[in-house]
Amino acid sequence: MNLLDQLAALGLTEYEAKVYLALLSEHPATGYQISKSSGVPRSMVYEALGRLEGRGAVLKSEEEKATLYRPVSPAVLLDRYEREAHERAERLRTELMPLYNRQESGRLWNFSGRREALAYAEELIEGAQHELMLVLTDADVAALRESLTRAHARGVALGVILTGTAAFDLGQVVHHPKREIELHQMEETLIVVADEREFLIASGHLFTTATVTTNHNMVLIARQFIWMELFAQRIFARLGPDLLARLSPEDQQVLH
């Protein structure tokens, strides 16, 4: 996405964005100079400047022979947009949440996007009251560590399977054997089971597909998978070399 498109996403028109970008490179400038450098017609440049002034993106100085313009620093402008967007989101959160009538239909709901999957995972973690069962990649650990730390601090039991090498020591934690990760294609899999109530599974980091459900049977299967893996890893940790040697080579490869 180029700068014009990104400024348009903030609400600037094409002419406003072109005028602002031109002023960043050359200021102070008259309307005539801005029109030439930006490519905005003279008949439209003053209208664009007026709207930018109203937005607080441009400052104006009335001189004896001409009116000069200069841009507000991008840092100041973007800080303002960020603050206003945050305040708007908080107001909407307060007003919209009472309208949300959540229906636990048990259907499977599908969506896409890594950011969206992590946001849903964080919502499940923040809302958990007594138990979270998870499968996490290294990237998931980094993204969700703060939410998981808060959950652990409020007494939520954590059962965590790690498919990478990231350090994580809250709750019961095991590292999934590398060969088994490859066999099950879990290198980029995120699973969150919250309070035996809702289940999220997301696959892929670059192109993410995800499914969520409150279907009791699906939630039970997901929770049981993680519980059994945690149990198996506890047992495996207590097996001595003599017992491991009695396993088939294929099974030994999976366990290591």
Domain coordinates of the chain in residue numbers?
A: 3-75, 108-255
How far is Cα of residue 207 from the mean position of the Cα atoms in its chain? 13
Q: In what order do the strands lie in the sheet with 189-194?
A: 108-112, 209-213, 198-203, 189-194, 131-136, 157-162, 172-175
Q: Which residue, chain included where needed, has tokens 């229906």?
A: 103
3-state secondary structure of 209: strand
Contact 132, 192 (CB under 8 A): yes
Q: How many C-beta neighbours within 10 Å does residue 125 have?
A: 23
Cis check: omega of the bond before 71, within 30 degrees of 0: no
pTM for this prediction: 0.67
At 10 the pLDDT is 82
Summarize pLDDT for 201-250 with one digit per residue, the tens: 999 888 999 999 999 999 999 999 898 888 877 776 666 566 556 666 66
pLDDT at 245: 60
Q: What is the pLDDT of residue 171?
A: 92
> Around 157, how many Cα atoms within 13 Å sit in the side-chain half-sphere?
7
Residues 6+ apart with CB under 8 A from 26: 33, 37
Its CATH architecture, for the domain 3-75, is: Orthogonal Bundle (1.10)
pLDDT for the residue 181:
63
Distance of CA 120 to CAs 126, 160, 193, 217, Å? Answer: 10, 18, 12, 20
Q: Which amino acid is at 219?
A: V
Exposure letters 145-166 (e unless 16+ CB within 10 A, then b): eebbeebbeeebebbbbbbbee
- pLDDT in single tens digits along all 256 residues of the chain: 588 888 888 888 898 888 888 888 888 888 888 888 888 888 888 898 989 888 888 898 888 788 898 888 888 888 988 898 899 989 998 888 888 777 677 788 899 999 999 999 999 999 999 999 999 999 999 999 999 999 999 999 999 999 888 899 999 998 876 666 665 666 789 999 999 999 999 998 889 999 999 999 999 999 998 988 888 777 766 665 665 566 666 655 545 5
Helix H or strand E encompassing 175: strand 172-175
What CATH number matches the domain at 108-255, 3.40.1180.10, 3.40.50.620, 3.40.50.2000, 3.30.870.10?
3.30.870.10
